[in-house]
């Protein structure tokens, strides 16, 4: 890790290097000081030693002087000298020298000859060591002298009686004993050497030795004392100390380095921990607390980091929850449902069980939200979700997959066994939901798909359930189980619905016309407008291919207005061409709930200068039944305008004519299923006959549709039917073709035919 090589080693350098440098500098300073100190001490010891030696020698000289003076004043010695009594002289000399432990005593005559001496013969032979004897001043002298092979520190005093008659000499031996003595007195190496061999008096140094030389006798003499100190020796204790110091410093340095490593590791460890925690967080792992016991800056950093970790993980959880849950009900959304359903399918596969998937749609929610507002419908959805959730069993999954759509996944159930659950759900929602203390009965439409029968993928199961549900809605059922193969049809219908608005805008949808003839006069009296859609991809579409889907999707209202506009314009065109024709337009359920329809119709008629009674609007029983009161209201408005109302497909519904009494009607259209079979089916003929009679008694005109042949035409004419429509006359055709047909149509022909049957017609 880069971090480790940089931060940690930097930290180590920062701690170890200054310490080590400080230590080395201190070490050298100490050694330097000690070295200097040793040198100084060595010099001092030499100077002190020289003083000690000088004083020692001076005091020995003084001793010699005192003794020799007493000797020189000895009367017996003077007398013996005068008398040349050698034996007495020697005895006096011996006595005196013994007193001060002198090493020699000697009497020398003025010519320099030894008169008597305590020295042995060999030493006396070369008695010429006393150069002072020549001294004319006859003063006392302290000096060194050599007798034979030995050197002596001597004091020489003239012997006077009263004139000088000789010299008295007293001396100490200058030998190794003296050197040793001086050495032990000074602690230095002492050597007594001839002055010409000694360095100049004072302190002299060379590389190895310090030397202090001083004359044996103050004022100079043949001999000098050399005090010496070997620098190497002086340094010896210091060298020892230095070795110890170096070892100590080395150990200390190692300790410092070790401590530095430990310290930087300790400091870097929390950082490393944080770094690896950050790495973990990058990979999405937020586990594991970083809190440490330490209350230093690192502890603080760790705890801030930990708070950050918690905050991020919390936020991430919240975001991923939001991403997978519906905000309004907090139920799993589509993605989450897909995930869970996938898992449920996998475990169902292992256990060889089924999974039922229910798409539950709350009906009439659009109406509720347009009357009570969005807030109310939101509240309803929340309550519905709550009720559904309370009734969940273990392993069941409830999700919200659309505005008014829930999904219920029931592992272990197939579609059939899920039906009982649907009934339960219906009951709960029909009774359980209330808004501001008003009970609202929620209705549901449910589609069911099943694993493994329908599909083994979650997305497909959801789609199939939703297809089954939409199909149920279209066919006004409450529940439908998905049936394989319905999907293509479903997709086609969806396509149609989504293309319809554009097709209307581009006027791709055509209005064709099928003629209606007036049976009494045998001439064309009107036409029914019927839509056709040459779809660019799906081919030529008939009304049954797209009208139900358009009704379902609510876009039928636009289609109706479109057809109305076209038809009214067409009516105007025909009038302009001298054709006095009525036009009929079909209405659907939705149109009858559209309160603005009458205004639109009125405007259309006015704009085109078409008389209201030239327009007939065809309605069906079932379309009125949806909301009779409202439909009647709209119909009455239209009636007030003067537009004619026709009851289409009569006979297929359940209502009787009496029940239709309250509906404003002008015309009754007997359904083609009766008309087409009237020739061969006596029962149908009877129904048609009574229907026509009853209609007449209610002042309604009767139209027979589905007239496919001449015989039928005659029959319905004979039954008193006012108008006929059917393939026998013409199939629905485009407007221009209709014009050609109308031009070619010979009313006379029909008239003749009708006339020939007149007997039976009346």
Alpha-helical (H) ranges within 626-734 are 628-641, 672-675, 682-697, 710-718
| Tokens found for residue 584 | 């009929």
CA angle centred on 387, ends 383 and 389, rounded to 5°: 115
**Strand 438-440 relative to strand 444-451, pairing:** unpaired
Region from 138-146, 431-439, 467-475, 527-535 binding ligand C2E, contact rule CB under 6 A: 527-535
Q: Rule CB under 6 A: is residue 621 a binding residue for ligand C2E?
A: no
Query: How buried is residue 478: exposed, middle or buried, by Cβ count under 10 Å (0-12/13-18/19+)?
Result: middle
- Determine which residue in the list 222, 594, 618, 667 makes contact with Ca ion, applying CB under 5 A: 618
- Determine which residue in the list 377, 383, 514, 586 makes contact with Ca ion, applying CB under 5 A: 586
Binds 544: which of Ca ion, ligand C2E, none (CB < 5-8 Å by kind): ligand C2E
Task: Identify which of 402, 426, 372, 476 has the alpha carbon closest to the alpha carbon of residue 380.
Answer: 372
Region from 45-53, 529-537, 630-638, 715-723 binding ligand C2E, contact rule CB under 6 A: 529-537
Q: Rule CB under 6 A: is residue 479 a binding residue for ligand C2E?
A: no
- Let me know: does 575 contact 519? Beta carbons within 8 Å: no
* Shortest spacing between CB 619 and ligand C2E, in angstroms: 9
CB under 8 Å to 364, separation ≥6 — which residues? 443
Q: 74 or 591: whose CB is closer to ligand C2E?
A: 591
| Residues binding ligand C2E: number (CB under 6 A) | 25
* Shortest spacing between CB 573 and ligand C2E, in angstroms: 18
* Shortest spacing between CB 565 and ligand C2E, in angstroms: 11
Residue whose token pair is 């008939």: 542
Alpha-helical (H) ranges within 283-352 are 297-324, 334-351
CA angle centred on 693, ends 692 and 698, rounded to 5°: 95
* Shortest spacing between CB 727 and ligand C2E, in angstroms: 4
Q: 142 or 649: whose CB is closer to Ca ion?
A: 649
* Shortest spacing between CB 672 and Ca ion, in angstroms: 6
- Determine which residue in the list 648, 667, 685, 722 makes contact with Ca ion, applying CB under 5 A: 648
Q: Rule CB under 6 A: is residue 653 a binding residue for ligand C2E?
A: no
Cα–chain center distance at 112: 121
Q: 222 or 705: whose CB is closer to ligand C2E?
A: 705
Q: Rule CB under 6 A: is residue 651 a binding residue for ligand C2E?
A: no
| Residues binding Ca ion: number (CB under 5 A) | 4
For residue 412, give the 3-state DSSP assignment: coil
Dmax of the chain from CA atoms? 230
CB under 8 Å to 289, separation ≥6 — which residues? 306
Q: 167 or 546: whose CB is closer to ligand C2E?
A: 546
Q: Rule CB under 6 A: is residue 543 a binding residue for ligand C2E?
A: yes
Q: Rule CB under 5 A: is residue 723 a binding residue for Ca ion?
A: no
Q: 360 or 592: whose CB is closer to ligand C2E?
A: 592
* HSE value, Cβ hemisphere, 13 Å, CA-based, for 670: 33
Q: Rule CB under 5 A: is residue 377 a binding residue for Ca ion?
A: no
Q: Rule CB under 6 A: is residue 732 a binding residue for ligand C2E?
A: yes
Q: Rule CB under 6 A: is residue 708 a binding residue for ligand C2E?
A: yes
Q: Rule CB under 6 A: is residue 544 a binding residue for ligand C2E?
A: yes
Binds 171: which of ligand C2E, Ca ion, none (CB < 5-8 Å by kind): none
CB under 8 Å to 733, separation ≥6 — which residues? 512, 513, 514, 741
Q: Rule CB under 6 A: is residue 724 a binding residue for ligand C2E?
A: no
Binds 588: which of Ca ion, ligand C2E, none (CB < 5-8 Å by kind): ligand C2E
The neighbour count for residue 206, using CB atoms within 10 Å, is 9
Positive or negative torsion for Cα 421, 425, 427, 432: positive
Q: 396 or 705: whose CB is closer to ligand C2E?
A: 705
Q: Rule CB under 6 A: is residue 586 a binding residue for ligand C2E?
A: yes
- Determine which residue in the list 388, 531, 719, 742 makes contact with ligand C2E, applying CB under 6 A: 531
Q: Rule CB under 6 A: is residue 707 a binding residue for ligand C2E?
A: yes
CB under 8 Å to 16, separation ≥6 — which residues? 256, 257, 260, 261
- Let me know: does 561 contact 591? Beta carbons within 8 Å: no
Q: Rule CB under 5 A: is residue 455 a binding residue for Ca ion?
A: no
Q: Rule CB under 5 A: is residue 591 a binding residue for Ca ion?
A: no
Q: Rule CB under 6 A: is residue 238 a binding residue for ligand C2E?
A: no
- Determine which residue in the list 56, 238, 286, 727 makes contact with ligand C2E, applying CB under 6 A: 727
Dist. CA 646–CA 232, nearest whole Å: 143
Q: Between helices 231-282 and 297-324, what is the axis angle to 10°? A: 10
Region from 136-144, 359-367, 391-399, 581-589 binding ligand C2E, contact rule CB under 6 A: 581-589
DSSP for 189-245, please give it: EEEEEEGGGSPSSEEEE-SSEEEEEEESSTT--SEEEEEEEEHHHHHHHHHHHHHHH
Q: Rule CB under 6 A: is residue 692 a binding residue for ligand C2E?
A: no
Binds 708: which of ligand C2E, Ca ion, none (CB < 5-8 Å by kind): ligand C2E
DSSP for 469-530, please give it: HHHHHHTT-SEEE--TTHHHHHHHHHHHHHHHHHHHHTT-SEEEEEEEEETTTTEEEEEEEE
- Determine which residue in the list 649, 667, 685, 722 makes contact with Ca ion, applying CB under 5 A: 649
Q: Rule CB under 6 A: is residue 547 a binding residue for ligand C2E?
A: yes
Q: 157 or 547: whose CB is closer to ligand C2E?
A: 547
* Shortest spacing between CB 540 and ligand C2E, in angstroms: 11
What residues line the site for ligand C2E (CB under 6 A)? 514, 529-531, 542-544, 547, 560, 563, 586-588, 618, 648-649, 672, 705-708, 725-727, 732
What residues line the site for Ca ion (CB under 5 A)? 586, 618, 648-649
């Amino acid at each position: 890790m880069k971090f480790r090589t940089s931060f940690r080693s930097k930290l180590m350098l920062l701690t170890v290097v200054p310490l080590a440098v400080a230590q080395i500098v201190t070490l050298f300073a100490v050694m330097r000081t000690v070295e200097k100190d040793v040198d100084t001490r060595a010099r001092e010891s030499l100077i002190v030693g020289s003083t000690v030696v000088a004083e020692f020698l001076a005091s020995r000289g003084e001793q010699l002087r005192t003794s020799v003076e007493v000797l020189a004043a000895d009367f017996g010695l003077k007398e013996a000298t005068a008398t040349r009594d050698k034996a007495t002289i020697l005895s006096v000399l011996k006595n005196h020298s013994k007193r001060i432990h002198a090493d020699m005593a000697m009497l020398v005559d003025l010519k320099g000859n030894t008169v008597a001496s305590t020295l042995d013969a060999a030493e006396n032979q070369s008695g010429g060591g006393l150069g002072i004897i020549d001294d004319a001043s006859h003063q006392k002298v302290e000096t060194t002298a050599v007798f034979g092979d030995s050197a002596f520190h001597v004091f020489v005093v003239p012997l006077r009686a009263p004139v000088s008659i000789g010299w008295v000499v007293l001396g100490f031996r200058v030998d190794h004993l003296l050197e040793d003595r001086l050495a032990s007195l000074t602690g230095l190496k002492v050597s007594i050497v001839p002055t010409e061999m000694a360095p100049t008096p004072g302190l002299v140094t060379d590389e190895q030795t310090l030397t202090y030389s001083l004359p044996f006798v103050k004022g100079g003499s043949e001999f000098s004392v050399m005090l010496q100190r070997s620098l190497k020796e002086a340094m010896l204790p210091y060298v020892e100390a230095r070795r110890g110091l170096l070892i100590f410093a080395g150990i200390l340095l190692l300790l410092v380095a070790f401590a530095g490593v430990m310290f930087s590791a300790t400091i870097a460890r929390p950082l490393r921990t944080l770094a690896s925690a950050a790495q973990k967080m990058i990979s999405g792992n937020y586990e594991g607390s970083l809190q440490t016991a330490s209350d230093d800056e690192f502890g603080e950093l760790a705890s801030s980091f930990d708070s950050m970790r918690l905050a991020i993980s919390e936020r991430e959880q919240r975001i991923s929850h939001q991403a997978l849950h519906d905000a309004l009900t907090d139920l799993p959304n589509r993605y989450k449902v897909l995930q869970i359903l996938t898992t449920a399918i996998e475990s169902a596969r292992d256990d060889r069980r089924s999974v039922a998937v229910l798409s539950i749609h709350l009906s009439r929610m659009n109406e509720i939200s347009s009357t009570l507002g969005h807030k109310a419908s939101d509240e309803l959805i929340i309550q519905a979700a709550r009720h559904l959730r309370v009734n969940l069993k273990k392993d069941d999954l409830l999700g919200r997959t659309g505005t008014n759509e829930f999904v219920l996944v029931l592992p272990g159930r197939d579609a059939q066994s899920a039906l009982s659950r649907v009934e339960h759900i219906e009951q709960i929602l029909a009774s359980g939901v209330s808004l501001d203390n008003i009970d609202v009965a929620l209705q549901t439409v449910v589609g069911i798909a099943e694993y493994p029968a329908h599909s083994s993928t979650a997305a497909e199961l959801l789609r199939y359930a939703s297809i089954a549900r939409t199909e149920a809605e279209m066919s006004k059922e409450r529940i439908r189980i998905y049936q394989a193969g319905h999907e293509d049809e479903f997709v086609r219908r969806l396509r149609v619905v989504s293309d319809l608005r554009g097709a209307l805008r581009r006027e791709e949808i055509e209005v064709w016309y099928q003629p209606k003839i007036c049976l009494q006069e045998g001439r064309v009296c009107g036409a029914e407008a019927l839509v056709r859609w040459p779809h660019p991809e799906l081919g030529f579409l008939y009304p049954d291919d797209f009208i139900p889907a358009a009704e379902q999707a609510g876009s039928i209202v636009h289609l109706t207005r479109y057809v109305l506009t076209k038809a009214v314009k067409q009516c105007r065109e025909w009038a302009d061409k001298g054709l006095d024709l009525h036009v009929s337009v079909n209405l659907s359920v939705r149109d009858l709930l559209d309160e603005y329809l009458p205004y639109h119709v009125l405007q259309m008629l006015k704009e085109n200068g078409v008389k209201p009674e030239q327009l007939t609007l065809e309605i069906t029983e079932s379309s009125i039944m949806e909301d009779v009161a409202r439909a009647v209201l709209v119909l009455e408005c239209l009636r007030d305008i003067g537009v004619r109302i026709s009851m289409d497909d009569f006979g297929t519904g359940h209502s009787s004519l009496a029940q239709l009494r309250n509906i404003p009607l002008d015309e009754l259209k007997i359904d083609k299923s009766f008309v087409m079979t009237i020739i061969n089916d006596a029962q149908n003929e009877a129904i048609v006959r009574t229907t026509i009679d009853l209609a007449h008694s209610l002042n309604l005109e009767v139209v027979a549709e589905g007239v496919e042949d001449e015989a039928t035409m005659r029959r319905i004419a004979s039954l008193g039917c006012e108008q006929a429509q059917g393939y026998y006359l013409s199939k629905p055709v485009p407007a221009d073709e209709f014009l050609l047909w109308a031009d070619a149509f010979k009313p006379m022909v029909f008239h003749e035919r009708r006339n020939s049957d007149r007997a039976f017609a009346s």
